[in-house]
């Protein structure tokens, strides 16, 4: 897509991006890329509104996967204490506090390869009761079967998070206990259950620009774009293989946010992990580049995050406002706005392969 086309209002939702096109976007002068991203952003969203989510770890530690960035992996000595699945009352109290602090979506994560059937009743009850509080619900539980995805949908889940992490080519340098196709298969089960998808990746894991382009290409070429695309900046966690990796150039991160907006124009693009290391100026550039979602709260699963007061102050200085969850006639949350433009030309039994 050319800069002139975006200015002319020609920014269709595409699913046929190739890596060369995406790399050309990376090579644009930063001012031109930001202008293009902001122009497209305004065609789909209020440019001064940001969706806020809160993330809670409902089961922490001892994960059997070997993701090299994760302090919850049982493969590494990270001094993280293993915890059992939280009681439903604890989850609801955290959700209530999140709502009072302005969050419209409550995300619950468990350090599992996949959920066991014995844990599904409690998980489903968490979804139903948080939904009854008028919040959007999101879960990240690892890999899902088709039946589990349908159970979550029936319980009222809005979003399922399952990140691709990086490009297919670099993936083996990050995770070896789960294949890339396993992740795509889970996304297929989630989409076939008519759940919204939250899927993105992590930058700063030693990957190349080509790998960053490859990650975005995978996401943008899904039959339906993820409704939410989290862009994470690696937090080097002590005890993990990636604890000594160097910092990513901040402008490279901003470029990636902008390109995500250009090629997935109707998706929410979320600043996720790593915000506590970003100064206000970098975050402001990301919002201008098309980011319109954040995680709020002092902790993201086990990693640190910015304090809510810091976000409030930044939003006031930038003139940004929170997006509130929509309600149906019963007053319950119905999930974030879903743009018709995101739907493929024909919707049927499309599988993600």
Which residues have a catalytic role annotated? Answer: 63, 67, 70, 107, 138, 198, 270
The full 3-state SS of the chain, as one line of letters, equals: CCHHHHHCCCCCCCCCCCHHHHHHHHCCCHHHHHHHHHHHHHHHCCCCEEEEEEEEEEECCCECCCCCCCCCECCCCCCCCCCCCCCHHHHHHHHHHHHHCCCCEEEEEECCCCCCHHHHHHHHHHHHHHHCCCCEEEEECCCCCHHHHHHHHHHCCCEEECCCECCCCCHHHCCCCCCHHHHHHHHHHHHHCCCEEECCEEECCCCCHHHHHHHHHHHHCCCCCCCEEEEEECCCCCCCCCCCCCCCCHHHHHHHHHHHHHHCCCCEEEECCCHHHCCHHHHHHHHHCCCCEEECCCEECCEECCCHHHHHHHHHHHCCEEECCCECCCCCECCCCCCHHHCCCCCCCCCCC
Cα–Cα distance between 248 and 234 in angstroms, integer? 9
Its sign, for the CA torsion 20, 23, 29, 35, is positive
Torsion angle of the four alpha carbons 106, 135, 306, 311, in this order, in degrees rounded to the nearest 10: 160
């Amino acid at each position: 897509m050319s800069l002139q086309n975006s200015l002319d209002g020609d920014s269709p939702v595409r699913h046929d991006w190739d890596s060369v096109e995406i790399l050309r976007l990376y090579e644009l002068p930063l001012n031109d890329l930001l202008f293009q991203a902001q122009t497209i952003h305004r065609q789909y969203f209020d440019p001064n509104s940001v969706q806020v989510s809160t993330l809670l770890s409902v089961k922490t530690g001892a994960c059997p996967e070997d993701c090299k960035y994760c302090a919850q992996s049982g493969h590494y000595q990270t001094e993280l204490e293993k915890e059992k699945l939280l009681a439903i009352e604890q989850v609801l109290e955290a959700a209530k506090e999140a709502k009072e602090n302005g969050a419209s979506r409550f995300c619950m994560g468990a350090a599992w390869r996949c959920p066991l059937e014995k844990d599904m009743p409690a998980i489903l009850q968490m979804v139903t009761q948080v939904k009854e509080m008028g919040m959007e619900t999101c879960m990240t539980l690892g890999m899902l079967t088709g039946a589990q995805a349908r159970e979550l949908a029936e319980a009222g889940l809005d979003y399922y998070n399952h990140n691709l992490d990086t490009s297919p080519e670099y993936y083996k340098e990050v995770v070896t206990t789960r294949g890339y196709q396993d992740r795509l298969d889970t996304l297929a089960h989630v989409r076939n259950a008519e759940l919204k998808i939250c899927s993105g990746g992590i930058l700063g894991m030693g990957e190349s620009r080509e790998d960053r382009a490859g990650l975005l290409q995978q996401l943008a070429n899904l039959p339906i774009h993820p409704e939410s695309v989290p862009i994470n900046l690696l937090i080097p966690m002590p005890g993990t293989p990636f604890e000594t990796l160097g910092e990513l150039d901040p402008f490279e991160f901003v470029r990636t946010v902008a390109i995500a907006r250009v090629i997935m124009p109707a998706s929410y693009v979320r600043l996720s992990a790593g915000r506590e290391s970003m100064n206000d100026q970098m975050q402001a550039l990301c919002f201008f580049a098309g980011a319109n979602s954040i995680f709020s709260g002092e902790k993201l699963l086990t990693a640190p995050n910015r304090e809510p007061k810091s976000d409030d102050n930044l939003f006031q200085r930038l003139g940004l406002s929170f997006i509130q969850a929509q309600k149906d006639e019963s007053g319950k949350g119905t999930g974030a706005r879903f743009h018709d433009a995101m739907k493929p030309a024909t919707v049927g039994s499309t599988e993600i392969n």
